[in-house]
Structure 1
């Protein structure tokens, strides 16, 4: 999934990072540092499994990264983009019952791995989440600045 998400992110100038399970504090501190380096409010779109561990992993990640960012005077917001209960209901993907041995609280009646979402559906979900946060006017301004810069370079190169 990561290469696909990297490609989608690049279309919008957004970085994609993948964690492995319950990341340690060093990984979470690194995520906060990347968010802080942007110098403005940062949104983090999260894709993860919908199960006992996935829900707790998201909460732990968000809590720790936000705490690191706040300590540095920055603002970070997390949004769970996939897999959601609504997507489970509408995407017709294979599910499993929650693990009977799971000790973490979980209100879901079924679980699903993020990898079970078909690539085209996953791409649409991610694009829609990104678009929901974009300001079209800011995007148009950036495109106009880019074109003006290209034209200035062309003029300089032409002599």
Structure 2
């Protein structure tokens, strides 16, 4: 039997009353978090659950995904407002339309000149998150401070753990990993496994690494009881998913965790030096 699901653009789609109710709420959420766009579908759903628009069930999540998908096909929801984390993109090789385009790119690169914004700080910071879908938002936060962001999902990323230890050894000073993950048995065990392995690798390389778990439990988020089949130890009585954090609160708690490890005076001096050097690069470029 042919697949009757919609394909391509659907400019003439007219949502039913219940669908429209949910989409009006979606419009409200996207407007509320316009400074943090794009958001993932899972983040959008958690906000709708917190707002009382939808129930915290897999059925309602799938229903919302269907509604939003059709809204994007119809043009009601902008494509760029939602982040599709299942897509893996590989950029094409860099190319230019001609010499004029090349020199314009060089000028743009000079305007983007940056120094190492972690230089001189007490510790070199990294942002880690359990869910790969949160990486783009954390990257937007970390870029201001020159902090890299990594996904630490899964228990078997051995090469990633070893690479983290090598980065710590190359940094020449203490590395502090700020980790954002789910508050549940899996999240706790994932965090402990990552921390223990990276610290052990780092010690063998003569480096110091500390892990800090960024709390997600103090924001009245949707919760669920731990799975009865999960026998692992757990410090809480209810589970909370990190993606349930509204985007603005996510940004606020990550900023707070970063600032607790940084010297603001050093950061300001670094930015001033960066601007002086950026101007020198521009002047030399135009002289050549």
Fold shared, TM-score > 0.5 on shorter chain: yes
Does residue 145 of structure 2 align to residue 12 of structure 1? yes
- Tell me what 1:43 maps to: 176
C-alpha contact 1:82 1:114 (8 A) present in aligned 2: no
Q: 1:156 offset after TM fit, Å?
A: 3.5
C-alpha offsets along residues 71-128 of structure 1, whole Å, 9 cap, x if unaligned?
Answer: 1111111100132x4x2xxx12110011111121112110011111111111111111
C-alpha contact 2:165 2:205 (8 A) present in aligned 1: no
Matches within 5 A, 1:29-40: 29-40=162-173
CA distance in 2 between partners of 1:39 and 1:137 (Å):
21
SS at match of 1:146: helix
Does residue 242 of structure 2 align to residue 114 of structure 1? yes
Does residue 271 of structure 2 align to residue 138 of structure 1? no
Aligned positions, number: 154
Does residue 276 of structure 2 align to residue 148 of structure 1? yes
Does residue 197 of structure 2 align to residue 69 of structure 1? no
Give the gaps of 5 or more residues in structure 1. none
**TM norm structure 1:** 0.88
After the TM superposition, which of the residue ranges 100-109 and 32-41 deviates more from structure 2?
32-41
Q: 1:11 offset after TM fit, Å?
A: 1.4
C-alpha contact 2:183 2:242 (8 A) present in aligned 1: yes
Q: 1:51 offset after TM fit, Å?
A: 0.5
- Tell me what 2:97 maps to: none
Structure 1 or 2, whichever has the larger Rg, is 2
**TM norm structure 2:** 0.50
Matches within 5 A, 1:94-109: 94-109=222-237
Q: 1:158 offset after TM fit, Å?
A: 6.0
Q: 1:137 offset after TM fit, Å?
A: 1.8
CA distance in 2 between partners of 1:158 and 1:40 (Å):
38
C-alpha offsets along residues 57-81 of structure 1, whole Å, 9 cap, x if unaligned?
Answer: 1111111101111111111111001
After the TM superposition, which of the residue ranges 14-23 and 45-54 deviates more from structure 2?
14-23
* RMSD, aligned α-carbons: 1.6
More relative contact order, 1 or 2 (CA 8 Å, 6+ apart): 1
SS at match of 1:65: helix
